[in-house]
Amino acid sequence: MRYPSSLALMAMALGLTLGLTSPTQAAPLGDATRLGSETPVIVHLFEWRWDDIAAECETHLGPAGIDAVQVSPPNEHIALDGVDGAWWARYQPVSYALTSRSGDRETFVDMVERCQAAGVGILVDAVINHMAGIGEGVGIAGTRYAPFRYGDLYTRDEDFNHCGRHGDDQIRDYQDRYEVQHCHLLSLADLATGSEAVQARLTDYLQGLLDLGVAGFRIDAAKHMPAEDIGAILARLEGHPYVFQEVIDPGHEPIKATEYLANAAVTEFAYPHRLATAIAGGDLASLAAIGQEGDWLPDERALVFVDNHDNQRGHVGGGVLMHRDDHYGLGLTFMLAWPYGTPKLMSSYTFEHGDQGPPSLAEEGWQTLPVHGEAGLGCLAEGAYDGHGWVCEHRWPLVTAMVGFRQAMGAAPVTHWQEAGASRIAFARGERGFVAMNRDTAPWRAELVTGLPAGDYCNLLDDCATRVRVAEDGRASIEVPADAALVLSLTHPAP
Annotated catalytic residues are 220, 246
Alpha helices (H) along 439-484: none
DSSP, residue by residue, 3-55: -----THHHHHTT---S-----TTS-TT-GGGGS-SS--EEEETT--HHHHHH
| DSSP result, 290-332 | TTTSTTSPPGGGEEE-S--TTGGGT-TT-----TTSTTHHHHH
Task: Name, in order, each residue with C-beta under 8 angstroms of 119's C-beta and a sequence gap of 6 or more.
Answer: 18, 19, 20, 36, 62, 67
Torsion region of 416: left, alpha or beta (phi above 0 gives left; psi -120 to 50 gives alpha): left
Strands (E), 66-215: 68-71, 121-126, 130-133, 137-138, 144-146, 149-150, 188-190
Residues 6 or more apart from 210 whose CB is under 8 A from it? Answer: 237, 238, 239, 241
Asked if 209 contacts 238 with a C-beta cutoff of 8 angstroms, the reply is no
SS3 state of residue 484: strand
Burial of 155 (0-12, 13-18, 19+ CB in 10 A): exposed
